[in-house]
């Protein structure tokens, strides 16, 4: 019996596997097509997951496969175009990877295109489905620590890469509060990139949320205790130490720090491979079928993009940025172009450069793959060999 919904994956790389797992754990979705300009990438997926159709371009895939749901699993600068193309082709839903976009203008255009076509847009901040975050959100709603006043997010490997998870996650746990202003600082004296996107060497920001709540973000300043999935929340009557896998509570009744039991259902989600991706798809299908709005909508992720871009814009303008943010470009890129962040240690490098597939040796890739090597290991090996050669 054919399944109720068809899906297609754009970008047959690392995270494409997690999307595939997410669909395959849902009985009512079948992945029927993939799109990737690299023949070896799409052939590998078609064979591994028994997918009948593979295309070199998103446009051809949309026209011929006519999927109901499209996963956008390409690098960040390539999130808006396939999302907008899918919306214009009239798909029911798009699951786009994080960070949603590298500018507020791009994020807006994704939300607008999907609204115009009635396409349900979600961004894969899939950690919203982890048991620790779900429990922490419940505890905040139950006022287990009174009113939250301070959140500390400490991350490494770039604001847009890991920071987006931490900011989105703390917003989720706190009930998606509105940000009012952002004061940020940025350092960039090396020519640092992440998946073809210029990033900072380090940055930090204070974000004022509605009410008395403040969010403090520090990125690539220290590694001790840094985790995209973890943050400390202080409230008027206690504290929560939140990670994806658990929550510790400190309040008048806890007798010191107390590990809070998680809901069984949430633990089951964690136990299944690709479980958060499956849960994200399940909630999307419920939304398509008239159920409640998905917890990870494009609009919610747009708010996270706005905070990150406001951090950069604050450093660019040397002032507090009151939201809504006016600058629609990527303020960090603008600062680089404007000479405001001179590179003192020349030599462009990309912290995910080992994944770059533009000029890889397809035969060598296929050979290593047939030996059972994982995608990211193959890419690291081939790109290291290229640099040495
Ligand atoms: N949600 C998460 O936890 C999580 C984890 C890892 C990565 N990601 C995100 O996923 C995205 C992809 O990262 P990755 O590590 O999977 O990258 P990757 O390099 O492993 O895969 C990207 C794939 O896209 C393909 N591609 C390039 N141009 C294309 C085009 N025009 N059309 C279709 N395919 C194209 C490449 O050939 C490659 O196969 C990034 O934005 C990253 O931030 C999210």
The Å distance, Cα 147 to ligand 1 centre, comes to 39
CA nearest ligand 1 atom 33, residue: 36
Instruction: Name the residue at shortest CA distance from atom 43 of ligand 1.
Output: 98
Establish whether residue 14 lines the binding site of ligand 1, counting it when its CB lies within 6 angstroms of any ligand atom.
yes
CA of 195 to the centre of ligand 1 (A): 8
**120-123 and 148-155 beta bridge pairing:** unpaired
Supply the pTM of this predicted model: 0.94
Residue 228 is encoded by which pair of tokens?
């995209």
| For ligand 1, mutation pick of 8, 9, 11, 357 (most atoms within 8 Å of CB) | 11
User: What single string gives the DSSP state of each residue in 268-279?
Assistant: HHHHSTTHHHHH
Rounded to an integer, what distance in angstroms lies between the CA atom of residue 239 and that of residue 236?
A: 8
The residue among 159, 15, 16, 160 whose CA lies nearest residue 76 is 160
Ligand 1 centroid, distance to 145 Cα (angstroms): 39
- Alpha carbon distance, N-terminus to C-terminus of the chain: 52
355 CA: nearest ligand 1 atom: 19
Cα(14) to ligand 1 centroid in Å equals: 6
* Among protein residues, the one whose CA lies closest to atom 21 of ligand 1: 13
What does residue 170 show for φ and ψ, rounded to 5 degrees?
A: -70, -35
CA gyration radius, the chain: 21
Taken as a whole, the chain contains a residue count of 389
SS3 219: strand
Question: H-helix or E-strand containing 182?
Answer: strand 179-187
- For the record, the structure tokens of 90 come out as 């009239």
Alpha-carbon span 189 to 318, nearest angstrom: 18
CA 57 to ligand 1: nearest atom: 32
Q: Best substitution site from 12, 14, 130 to test ligand 1's pocket, by max atoms within 8 Å of Cβ?
A: 14
Please give the domain boundaries of the chain with CATH numbers for all domains. 5-127+273-295 (3.40.50.720), 128-266+301-333 (3.30.360.10), 353-388 (no CATH)
Q: Which of 13, 172, 197, 356 to mutate to test the pocket of ligand 1 (most atoms within 8 A of CB)?
A: 13
Question: What was the pLDDT predicted at 3?
Answer: 81
**Residue 38: both structure tokens together:** 């690299």
Pairing of strands 148-155, 69-72: unpaired
Ligand 1 centroid distance, CA of 358 (Å): 12
CA gap 148, 171 in Å, rounded: 12
Helix 39-49 with 14-24: angle, nearest 10 deg:
30
Please count the other Cβ atoms lying within 10 Å of the Cβ belonging to residue 67: 26
Q: Which residues of the chain have a pLDDT value below 70?
A: 1-2, 264-274, 386-389
Q: 121 C-alpha to center of ligand 1: Å?
A: 18
User: Nearest CA to 94 among 68, 112, 61?
Assistant: 68
Question: Among residues 233, 234, 260, which one has the least CA distance to residue 247?
Answer: 260
Q: Alpha-carbon distance 362 to 382, whole Å?
A: 10
What pLDDT does residue 385 have?
Answer: 74
Cα 143 to middle of ligand 1, angstroms: 39
17, 21, 33, 36, best to mutate for ligand 1 pocket (most atoms within 8 Å of CB) = 36
Which of 21, 97, 350 to mutate for ligand 1's pocket (most ligand atoms within 8 Å of CB)? 97
User: For ligand 1, is residue 37 a contact (CB within 6 Å)?
Assistant: yes
Tokens of 188: 């960039």
CA–CA distance, 135 with 260 (Å, rounded to integer): 8
By the 10 Å C-beta count (0-12 exposed, 13-18 middle, 19+ buried), 346 is classed as exposed
Ramachandran area for residue 347 (φ above 0: left; ψ -120 to 50: alpha; else beta): left
């Amino acid at each position: 019996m054919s399944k109720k919904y068809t899906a297609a994956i754009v970008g047959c790389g690392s995270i494409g596997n997690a999307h595939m797992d997410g669909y395959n754990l849902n009985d009512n979705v079948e992945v029927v097509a993939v799109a990737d300009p690299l023949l070896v990438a799409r052939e590998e997926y078609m064979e591994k997951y028994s997918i009948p159709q593979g295309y070199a371009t998103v446009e051809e895939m949309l026209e011929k496969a006519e999927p109901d749901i499209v996963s956008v699993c390409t690098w960040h600068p390539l999130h808006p175009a396939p999302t907008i193309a899918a919306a214009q082709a009239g798909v029911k839903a798009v699951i786009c990877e994080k960070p949603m976009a590298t500018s507020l203008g791009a994020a807006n255009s994704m939300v607008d295109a999907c609204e115009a076509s009635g396409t349900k847009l979600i961004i894969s901040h899939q950690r919203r489905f982890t048991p620790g975050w779900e429990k922490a959100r419940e505890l905040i709603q139950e006022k287990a620590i009174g009113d939250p006043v301070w959140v500390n997010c400490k991350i490494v490997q770039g604001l847009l890469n890991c920071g987006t998870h931490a900011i989105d996650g703390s917003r989720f746990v706190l009930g998606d509060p509105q940000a009012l202003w952002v004061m940020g600082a940025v350092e960039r004296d090396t020519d640092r990139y992440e998946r073809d996107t210029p990033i900072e060497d380090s940055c930090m920001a204070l974000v004022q949320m509605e009410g008395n709540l403040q969010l403090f973000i520090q990125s690539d300043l220290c590694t001790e205790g840094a985790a995209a999935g973890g943050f400390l929340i202080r409230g008027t009557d206690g504290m929560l130490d939140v990670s994806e896998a658990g929550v510790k509570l400190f309040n008048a009744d806890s007798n010191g720090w107390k590990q809070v039991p998680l809901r069984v259902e949430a633990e089951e989600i964690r136990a299944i491979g690709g479980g958060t991706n499956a849960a994200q798809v399940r909630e999307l299908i419920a939304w398509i079928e008239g159920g409640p709005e998905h917890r990870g909508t494009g609009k919610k992720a747009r708010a996270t993009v706005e905070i990150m871009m406001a951090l950069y814009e604050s450093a660019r303008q040397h002032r507090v940025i009151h939201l809504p943010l006016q600058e629609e470009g990527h303020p960090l890129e603008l600062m680089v172009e404007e000479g405001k962040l001179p590179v003192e240690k020349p030599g462009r490098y990309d912290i995910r450069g080992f994944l770059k597939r533009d000029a890889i040796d397809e035969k060598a890739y296929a050979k290593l793959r047939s030996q059972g090597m994982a995608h990211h290991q193959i890419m690291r090996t081939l790109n290291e060999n290229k640099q040495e050669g």
